[in-house]
Structure 1
Amino acid sequence: MDDSVDRHIARWRGKAPFDERVEAIVTRMQFLVRHLSRGKDAALAMVGLQDFEFETLHRLASRGEGGGATPSELAAELKLSPAGMTGRLDTLEKAGLVRRVRSEEDRRRVDVELTDEGRATWLKAMGVRGEAEDDMVGVLTRADQEVLAALLKRMLLQVEEPGSPSAPQA
């Protein structure tokens, strides 16, 4: 059975110089990433979050129950300016999803924490996203999933290798 990538390759066969096997792999990965992105957008819409809000909650949730971060730590992780981070935190705080608290160790320091509502909203978004991801990957057997994970890891290590022609430039 042909998929959209098979039809794409057939349309371009003989018209452009490419290795059909490489084109099939890369294009399918691109289509799957696009599918995941649309699924993430739908999950966030279901819980009333925008992507930037989710990403901030996600960073805070990664610190565990009761874990917090300074606004500057979050800004660095999210690659935002301090002013951009302040605006984002203001929005999330007004929505009741995060709170700013004075540090116990240093009263000059402000930490940002998830509220119970923020954690519940993040968990709901993660659940919806997880269902879509499980559905997509679930067509593969456990053994196939292990093989695919290992192959993708090898590819990622190649592009992340410093000095590799395909490594991201700093």
Structure 2
Amino acid sequence: MDDSVDRHIARWRGKAPFDERAEAIVTRLQFLVKHLSRGKDAALAMVGLQDFEFETLHRLASRGEHGRATPSELAADLKLSPAGMTGRLDTLEKAGLVRRVRSEEDRRRVDVELTEQGRATWLRAMGVRGEAEGDMVGVLTLAEQDVLAALLKRMLLQVEGPPTPAGPAAPAE
């Protein structure tokens, strides 16, 4: 059974020099990433979040039970200017998804933390995303998923290059 990539390759065969096997792999990866992106957008719409809101909540949620970070730490994680981060936090705070609190270590510092509503909203979005991802990889057996994960890891390690002295190469955003 042909898929859209088979038709793409057939359309280009003989018109441009390319390795059909590599083109099939790379184009399928690109199409799967597009599918995941559409699934993420749908998941966010279902819970009433925009992408920038989700990404900020996601970064906070990765920081443990209280989901707490300084605005400058979040700005660095999200590659934003301090002013851009302030705007995002204002929006999320008005929506009741985060709150600004005084640091427990240094009372002069302000931290941002997830509210219960923020964590619940983030968890709902993650659940919908997880279902979409599960549906996509669920066509493979567990053993096939393990093999694919290992192969993709080898490919990623190749393009990321060797780890730097500060640690492994940072994943692309």
What TM-score does the superposition give when structure 2 sets the normalisation length? 0.93
How far apart in 2 are the matches of 1:147 and 1:133? 17
How far apart in 2 are the matches of 1:126 and 1:105? 31
How far apart in 2 are the matches of 1:85 and 1:68? 15
- 2:122 alignment partner AA: W
State the match for 1:25 in structure 2. Answer: 25
Q: Secondary structure at the match of 2:64?
A: coil
Q: Secondary structure at the match of 1:100?
A: strand
Q: Secondary structure at the match of 1:46?
A: helix
Q: Secondary structure at the match of 2:101?
A: strand
CA distances 1:21-53 after superposition (whole Å, capped 9, x unpaired): 000000000000000000000000000000000
CA distances 1:47-79 after superposition (whole Å, capped 9, x unpaired): 000000000000000012113100000000000
2:76 is equivalent to residue 86 of structure 1: no
State the match for 1:125 in structure 2. Answer: 125
CA distances 1:113-169 after superposition (whole Å, capped 9, x unpaired): 000000000000000000000000000000000000000000000000059xxxx9x
- 2:132 alignment partner AA: A
How far apart in 2 are the matches of 1:124 and 1:72? 27
State the match for 2:7 in structure 1. Answer: 7
| 1:104 positional shift | 1.6
State the match for 1:107 in structure 2. Answer: 107
What TM-score does the superposition give when structure 1 sets the normalisation length? 0.94
State the match for 2:140 in structure 1. Answer: 140
Which deviates further from its counterpart, 58-67 or 22-31?
58-67
How far apart in 1 are the matches of 2:130 and 2:162? 32
Q: Which consecutive residues of structure 1, in runs of 5 or more, have no partner in the other structure? A: none
- 2:88 alignment partner AA: R
Q: Which consecutive residues of structure 2, in runs of 5 or more, have no partner in the other structure? A: 164-170
Q: Secondary structure at the match of 2:111?
A: strand
- 2:87 alignment partner AA: G
